[in-house]
Copies of this chain bind each other. A is one copy, B any other.
Amino acid sequence: MTKAGNNSIDHLGIEDLLCFSLYSANHAMNRVYKPLLDKFGLTYPQYLALLVLWQEDNQTVGQMGERLFLESNTLTPLLKRLETNGYVSRKRDPEDERQVRISLTKSGKSLKKETGSISVCIFEAASMDETAITRLKNQISSLRDNLAQSAT
């Protein structure tokens, strides 16, 4: 029995669940990012999409979706908002008109440097040393891969 003696194996409190730690930590992360991204008129998922484009420009919606684990029903509206805000352009690929290529505008590219300090803020907010962060990241990523595997 744990602490108060009222948590048997099948009566786990929410604070004892891995899923809830993930859920709440992800929201906490979002709350740290929000004020930092507000300055640029970006949401957290929009920022992630830009990170993907800063790695490799001119990707298709599908390629971005693979990297972000998202599909067009989520990405299309998000990318349209980034387009409206002038950070990306969306063009049908002339080679294959089914695909839409997303490319960074000048303003989208310059955002990479302007947002550079954000990662430092997150690192400080995490209050963990770099090797611990890397280890934790790897464990969470492999948990994700296990979960995704099982959802096949």
Contacts and interface: CB of A to CB of B under 8 A. Distances in A.
Interface of A: 10-29, 31-33, 44, 48, 51-52, 54-55, 67-69, 116, 119, 122, 124-128, 133, 136-141, 143-144, 146-151
Give chain A's interface secondary structure class: helix
B15 A141 contact: yes
Contacts of A44: 23
Contact of A146 (B128, B143, B144): B128
A16 B134 CA distance: 8
B125 A136 contact: no
B140 A22 contact: yes
A80 to B, nearest CB: 21
B137 A125 contact: no
A146 B119 contact: no
A19 to B, nearest CB: 5
A104 to B, nearest CB: 14
Most chain B Cβ neighbours within 10 Å, of A32, A68, A150:
A150
B33 A29 contact: no
A49 to B, nearest CB: 9
